[in-house]
Amino acid sequence: MIIGMTGNTAEHIINKLKKKGVAMLGTSRKKIDSPGIPYVQIERYTEEALRSIFKAYPIEVVIQAANTTLSPLVLKVSQEYSIKHVVLIHTTGIFSKYRSCRLEYEEVESRILGETSAVPVTILRPTLIYGTPKDRNMWRLIQFIGKSPIFPVFGRGNNLFQPVHVDDLAEAVVRCAGNQATYGKQYNISGKTIVSYSEIISLIKKMSFRKVIVIHMPIWLSVAGIWVLNNVFRYKGIIREQVLRMQEDKVFEYREASADFGYQPRSFEEGLKSEIELSQLSPTPSRTKR
């Protein structure tokens, strides 16, 4: 069963499992016109709602791809029905040095790891996810650079990332599901390439043939500007913690995932190229000649 089947990662997981001929059931809070697989609409995730599904369907493996805060509830009900394996998709945000950013994730995982589970659990923690119009990270950067002649960067842009393509993350989930070698373990799921924020911007400019002026803004000025946006103009599209986290390195090894289930992610350049092609920013050969 895929909990949160309409999410970016879940859609890729479903496509991979369908190719393998795996019988699936999904859950969604909203009505889906063409779901592709059987699904149950749940307006609100409660113990009763989940129990009704577990009673009605012969579920063996649960993949929790919805909000991280649902994980303790999903695990609790899964134990009641002796599910064979539960895979939880969380985030490396739990390792942030900023308490306000990691607190929620810490509370969730402390509840899960602090108790002995009767059901085998695997936790996957992806880094920054990219790859399709549904991602809220790289896609926005590509779109912004494609439309604006100026791109502001908070700080020097030297902070490091190890972005993971959504299709690689989905492959990791599929390889984990029902795999006894992963039972009771936690894995960081990152991409093959480590890049700085400035390098990401440069690659997008190069691959999309855009001439954009990059302006570096001091952190103190950036934080002050965000405060004005949040408190004077009531704009909440970006908050102080996001700016501060932009200064963190988000680099995590995936060695254990490679050893246990053969995880081999693509390079960032390869993944970014395919996403830029999706965005239709790359010029046609005729435009390139001009």
CATH of the domain at 217: 3.90.25.10
Distance CA 87, CA 98 (A): 26
User: Is 76 contained in some domain?
Assistant: yes
In whole angstroms, give the CA distance from residue 94 to residue 103: 7
Q: Is residue 113 part of a domain?
A: yes
Q: How many domains does the chain have?
A: 2
Helix residue ranges, H only, the chain: 8-19, 47-56, 71-80, 99-113, 138-147, 166-176, 197-207, 219-231, 240-245, 255-261, 268-279, 285-289
> Do residues 203 and 65 share a domain?
no
Say yes or no: 2 and 120 in one domain.
Answer: yes
Q: Which amino acid would we find at residue 171?
A: E
Q: What is the DSSP letter of 265?
A: P
> Diameter of the chain by CA atoms?
65
Asked, for residue 168, whether it belongs to a domain, the answer is: no
Nearest CA among 10, 281, 273, 276 for reference residue 166: 10
Last residue of a domain, one of 126, 152, 183: 126
Q: Are residues 235 and 158 in the same domain?
A: yes
Residue (of 124, 56, 34, 33) closest to 86 by Cα position: 124
Backbone angles phi, psi at 122, to 5 degrees: -125, 130
Does 115 share its domain with 243?
no
Q: How far apart are CA 155 and CA 243, in angstroms?
A: 9
Helix, coil or strand: residue 37: coil
Same domain, 44 and 139: no
- Domain of residue 217: give its range: 131-162+192-250+266-290
Q: 209 in a domain, yes or no?
A: yes
12 and 33 share one domain: yes
The verdict on residue 42 lying in a domain is: yes
User: pLDDT in tens for each of the 290 residues of the chain?
Assistant: 999 999 999 999 999 999 999 999 999 999 998 778 999 999 999 999 999 999 999 999 999 999 999 999 999 999 999 999 999 999 999 999 888 778 999 999 999 998 878 899 999 999 999 999 988 889 989 998 988 899 988 888 999 999 999 999 999 999 999 999 999 999 999 999 999 999 999 999 999 888 899 998 888 888 888 888 888 888 877 777 777 777 899 999 999 999 999 999 999 999 999 999 988 644 444 444 43
